[in-house]
Copies of this chain bind each other. A is one copy, B any other.
């Protein structure tokens, strides 16, 4: 069994990430962590909600954390918000 499974949310359609989450549970994970930053945060919440409501009705939201990360850009450092949502069976 693989622990510490993480799904990083990017700019693809929500269903891609839903599939990734469901697949990790089907492969034996007891927890899946969904991480996103910036504008992808909304999509992370969508992915978790669709996963729970449609495919994993027995799963629970174990923890939700938000925070801030510094990222280097062409014009110096910039702050970006991050979210981590931990789903467990």
Known: A53-B68, A61-B66, A64-B64. Is A81-B46 also a contact (CB below 8 A)? yes
Q: Which residues of B contact A48 (CB under 8 A)?
A: 66
Q: For this complex, into which size category does the number of interface residues on chain A fall?
A: 20 to 34
A22 close to chain B: CB less than 8 A: no
Copies, count = 2
Of A38, A40, A64, A66, chain B has the most CB atoms within 10 Å of the CB of A66
A67 close to chain B: CB less than 8 A: yes
Q: Which residues of B contact A42 (CB under 8 A)?
A: 38-42, 81
CB proximity of A80 to chain B, nearest CB, Å: 9
When A and B form their complex, which 3 residue pairs have the shortest distance between CB atoms, in order from nearest?
A: A64-B64, A41-B42, A45-B81
